[in-house]
Amino acid sequence: MRIVFWGTPEFAAPPLLALIGEGFDVVGVVTQPDRPRGRSRSQLDPSPVKQVAMDEGIPVLQPERPRGEEFVQALRDLAPDLSVVVAYGRILPREVIDLPSLGTLNIHASLLPALRGAAPIQAAIVEGCEETGVSIMRMVSALDAGPVIHTLATPIEPDETGGELTLRLSELGATALIEALALREAGDVVERPQDEAKATYAKKIERDDARVDWTQSATVVARRIRAYDPKPGAWSSVRGVEVRFFGARPEAGRAGAPGEVVAADSAGLVIACGDGVVAVREVHPAGKKRMTAAEWVAGRGVAVGDRCS
């Protein structure tokens, strides 16, 4: 089976490595163009998926958009039987989805039809889900709406961050993909249509989505802070400076106005919410490094009575 793999970020690499490790014939990788970094923007960094491909000697395609006759012909020249997509970051046209003889599979980080869309991992934490997982589905033109071939579920740990859950689900996705391909090769694949009535959506995270609403309960605030750790970071303004918060834990008592700092000492930082308070373990003030809350307090960056807004 000749496979073309599509992906870009670091968490897309484990499924690619799994395909290679299991001896599948990965004939090409499609990833986004190298991105400039540094103050001069002169250095170009390959995506983590491209780096794996280069290490393995796999041909790489990097179109700005996955369309156009030149790109489609390059894809045809690879003669894929199957495409596998993991967080590629661009919408694929039907011509590209249907090009391989066996179609295109997608690894989605939720138990479909729940949490279709761009940010299912963060949404699962924000919504307080006790369980999530990965779904292997056959891609169609509609967003994450194709029939599901295989799923694997996992509980969400009480203190798990978005970053930690992303890493776990990337490994689980690799396992699910290999299992799905084994089922296909054995002729045991059953495509299960999704129940549209149960579909929910997790939209792309915008800047304002990560702003902390301290009028919410401490439980909800803590979930939001965990969900956006490490990126984009749940944030508020403190003394006119944007500050990102990490490692929040809900607690009872110590009443104050929502957003008011009610404790700031060597033990850390406690901030009042609409119901209860959250203890914050780490912060990242704009223009500084990420630090413990106690270090921020010791540096007089915050004090009891300050307001987060």
* Helix (H), strand (E), coil (C) string for 143-195: CCCCCEEEEEEEECCCCCCHHHHHHHHHHHHHHHHHHHHHHHHCCCCCCECCC
Cβ contact 55:26 at 8 Å: no
- Per-residue pLDDT, averaged over 158-174, amounts to 97
Side chain identity, residue 193: P
Determine if the peptide bond prior to 93 is cis (ω within 30°). no
Domain boundaries defined on the chain: 2-202, 208-298
Confidence band of 34 (pLDDT split at 50, 70, 90): very high
Cβ contact 14:171 at 8 Å: yes
Alpha-carbon distances of 42 from 37, 60, 239, rounded to whole Å: 7, 22, 35
Quick: pLDDT tens for 184-218: 999 888 999 999 999 999 999 999 999 999 999 99
Residue 54 neighbours by CB under 8 Å, 6+ apart? 46, 60
Q: How far is CA 301 from the centre of its chain?
A: 31
Lowest-pLDDT choice from 25-39, 115-129, 152-166, 169-183: 25-39
Tell me the C-alpha distance between 10 and 106, whole Å.
16
Query: What are residue 12's phi and psi, to 5 degrees?
Result: -85, -10
Cβ atoms < 10 Å from Cβ of 97: 20
Beta partners for 7? 86
What is the CATH code of the structural domain delimited by 208-298? 3.10.25.10
Tell me the C-alpha distance between 308 and 297, whole Å.
14
Residue 247's nearest CA partner among 229, 261, 265 is: 229
Residue-level pLDDT at 41: 65
Which architecture, in CATH terms, is 2-202?
Answer: 3-Layer(aba) Sandwich (3.40)
Side chain identity, residue 238: V
Lowest-pLDDT choice from 43-52, 216-225, 234-243: 43-52
Beta partners for 251? 277
Residue-level pLDDT at 102: 95
Quick: pLDDT tens for 55-93: 999 999 999 999 999 999 999 999 999 999 999 989 999
- Per-residue pLDDT, averaged over 216-224, amounts to 97
Q: Mean pLDDT across the chain, nearest whole number? A: 95
Tell me the C-alpha distance between 133 and 112, whole Å.
9
Check pLDDT > 70 for residue 38.
Answer: no
Confidence band of 40 (pLDDT split at 50, 70, 90): low
Q: To which H or E segment does residue 241 belong?
A: strand 241-251
User: Left if phi > 0, otherwise alpha if psi is -120 to 50, otherwise beta: which for 18?
Assistant: alpha
Cβ atoms < 10 Å from Cβ of 197: 6
Residue-level pLDDT at 39: 63
Residue-level pLDDT at 253: 72
Gyration radius of the chain over CA positions: 22
Say whether 80 sits in a helix, a strand or coil. Answer: coil
